[in-house]
Amino acid sequence: MKNYRFRMSLRGFSTLFFFTFILHPSSLILAQSASISGHVRDSVTHEALAGARIELRALHGGAISDRNGNFSLNELPEGTLVIEVHLIGYDSAKYNIVLSEGETFNINVDMRAQSISGTEITIESERERELEKTTVSHIELTPAMIDKVPSLGGESDPFRVLQLMPGVKALSELSSGLYIRGGPPDQTLILLDDNVVYNPTHLFGFFSTFNTDAIKSVDLIKGGYPPEYGGRLTGVLDVTTREGDPNDFHGQSSLSMIAARQTIEFPVPGGSMLISGRRTYIDEFLNAVDAQKILGDTSPLPQYYFYDLNAKIDEHLGASDHLSISGYLGADNLYYPTNGVIDLSLTWGNKLASAEWTHFFSDNLFARTFVGYSAYSTQSSGTIASDSFVFDNSIQELSAKEDVDWRASDEHDLRMGTGLSRYTFNFYNTLGTTNKPLKDTGGVPYYLSAYTQDEWKPSESVTATYGLRAEWLDLANAITLDPRATVAYQLNPDWTLKASTGIYHQFLHLVSAGEYTFFDFWVPGTAPLPPSQSTQYILGLSGYPADPYFVSCEVYYKKLNNIVEYNETKFLSDSITEIFPRGTGQAYGMELFLREQTGKFTGWIGYTLSWVTEQIPELNNGQPFYPTWDQRNDIQLVLNYKASDRWTFGATWTFATGQANTSDIGYYQIALDGIGQQQDLDIPGGLGAERLPDYHRADASATYSFQMFGKSAKASLDIFNLYNHRNVWFQVVDTQKQPPQVSDVLSLPIIPTLGIEVTY
């Protein structure tokens, strides 16, 4: 067995277990051989590059850069060595390195992107990148792709771009929530630098919390995700923050119609740091121009703003260690006084902090230790007439994870890990003199998980990823075992066939008790109710029918058990099982995708045909129904034209059949304890029995690049809802009129916005 150079360090239990029982003790020998550690990055943007092949041809060895661009080559002989670095889409790099005995050599590998002037090279790189993917239902976004899509309010947003992909829906143009393959937003695991984000929206759901200036990559797996991810029924959205430049100071300033953004990056001893912030200034603008006086309104205007702040530090701690520290802070604040009739104060937001330490034991074996803190809270308070109210909802998670990656051979890439999370839930409301905390949500449950998976490549044309995930939540008193498998078969140089199946469980659930995201709150699974479960089947074919056009087709089916719904007729109950009944469901459909990503004209066309049904015994008289996010057909068209080095134009068009809708058929009155008033409650008709009108909208943008004081700058014009079609947001029914009167609440009209951005 090969001798690995081992550096004793304080690691998690799983790492010690792995080395104690897998590696023979005789292999833990401290040799005086040399080593090389490095960081692979883009030569222009200095972004870390994952998946680069580092080759030592003379020694018949090498390594692969991890997702942070790091690699390590250990137990090397002294003398001159030649290393070659290869990555699809980049020119190869070659270095001659002279090593002394026991020396640790550090190197930054700068990779130069291949020129677009070589069209054949660009097409071939794109082809290889797509055909080599071993995951199904995978969407990758970069900041450059996000910036090309017309935006709302001048703020580019990854969620808005993802909603233009097949299989991803939005309830309305006023919502940035992701409804993926028949699943509501809480069924998708959302990660920021491996830390869970519980409410990824700003401005009542209009924008996501992800500032594009701070983003390195956005990866969405719509289904069939591997065992390393867990805790959700549908998919995974993995967002990674950019690293700062370790050599020079850089900055970027942006100004849109609603917000200002500032990003700086600079070297620090041993690494780099990036700080990016954003704040809206609607409140400051209204105050500065004395909008209340201009409008001639004696009623005070609402005071609203949101902000977010991203920060990341990357440190290289010697040849074999890399430390990344990441943080996020964001909140929405609304104060709405109305001369004593209603005084409303709302605050909701996220706090995240995490640290990840990567240690390379050898060129084919490394471990990652992660610790993180994530918190989401929403507080609302105020008075209605002379009565006060307070709503306070929150979830906090402390987590720790240990992952080990072992490239055992050219055929097997093993990954295993374990994680532990501690949750704290809080939900209570005070109305007048009544205080009713919700039962079973004040506990401190623990969540334990472990997984193992293997990416097996038995031949050049076949890759199989398979494994098992185990999970346990003490409040639910349940242990789950989730087997999963994906097989990719490259039929020929142009086409790849993929199939996936697996079981997925979810213990935590998001409940939307209103039209806006600040009323969302999370509740845990509790005994004797079992956790929610989905069983997925996916079959897909993708390839290049003709260069440079990429085509994919996927069909999927999901069987859902113990899914959670909100019973609004039981909102005064203090029993979690009454307010959140459970049932079954299914989702199935077909997705088509055509993309062209080279040349002056780029873009894509997507089409989705899908069905979603649920059956909850306590709802709809126990009959199956269509949830709100069921839409039969979706079409997305995205076009981008680079007219010159200065001018770029973009346009999008979407169409969707009307979403399922529930109309009210009457109302009844109840007495509100503690305030001596009556409250009218609507009586809903058949759930999802009707449809809203079909939805369609076009957006457009124009971007002009120029120099400002010797710095790169660009100005943009975005036009939202180009032909001013007012889509129906939702419908309200006045049941006190006979016959009842139905009114449409319309969405946004045409909105042109301007923005400017300067990079220095």
DSSP helix/strand/coil, 633: strand
Q: Which helix (H) or strand (E) holds 470?
A: strand 462-473
The confidence band for 122, taking pLDDT boundaries of 50, 70 and 90, is: very low
pLDDT at 9: 34
The confidence band for 599, taking pLDDT boundaries of 50, 70 and 90, is: confident
Residues of the chain with pLDDT > 70, as a percent, come to 80
pLDDT tens profile 332-351:
888 877 655 567 788 889 99
Percent helix, strand and coil across the chain, each to the nearest 5:
10, 60, 35
Give me the chain's average pLDDT, please.
Answer: 82
pLDDT at 121: 42
The confidence band for 747, taking pLDDT boundaries of 50, 70 and 90, is: confident
Sign of the C-alpha dihedral, residues 179, 181, 184, 185? negative
Domain ranges of the chain: 32-111, 241-759
Specify the CATH class of 32-111 in words.
mainly beta
**Encoding tokens for residue 506?**
């979810």
- Name the one residue in this structure whose structure tokens are 């002989």: 77
What are the Cα distances from residue 40, in Å, to 47, 111, 601?
8, 7, 31
**Encoding tokens for residue 144?**
């450059």
pLDDT at position 688 over 80: yes
**Cβ atoms within 10 Å of 438's Cβ, excluding its own:** 20
pLDDT at 444: 64
List b or e across 534-549, with b for residues whose CB sees 16 or more CB atoms inside 10 angstroms: bbbbbebebbbeeebe
pLDDT tens profile 637-681:
999 999 998 999 999 999 999 999 887 766 666 665 555 556 666
pTM: 0.84
pLDDT at 215: 92
pLDDT at 19: 33
Q: Are strands 660-661 and 711-720 parallel, antiparallel or unpaired?
A: unpaired
pLDDT at 616: 92
Given the candidates 3.30.470.10, 3.20.20.60, 3.40.50.2000, 2.40.170.20, the CATH classification of the domain at 241-759 is 2.40.170.20
pLDDT at position 513 over 70: no
Which runs of consecutive H residues, i.e. helices, occur in 69-150? Answer: 119-131, 143-147
pLDDT at position 493 over 90: no
Q: What are phi and psi of 431, to 5 degrees?
A: -130, 110
Distance CA 621, CA 569 (A): 13
User: Mean of the pLDDT values across residues 294-322?
Assistant: 79
The more confident residue out of 602 and 598 is: 602
- Least confident among 7-11, 68-72, 238-242, 464-468: 7-11
Distance CA 63, CA 51 (A): 9
pLDDT tens profile 228-249:
999 999 999 999 999 898 888 9
User: Mean of the pLDDT values across residues 465-479?
Assistant: 88
Angle at 341 between CA 339 and CA 343, to 5 degrees: 75
Phi-psi map region of 547: left, alpha, beta (phi>0 left; psi -120 to 50 alpha)? beta
Asked if omega into 548 is within 30° of 0 (cis), the reply is yes
pLDDT tens profile 25-70:
333 333 457 888 888 888 776 677 877 888 887 777 778 887 778 8
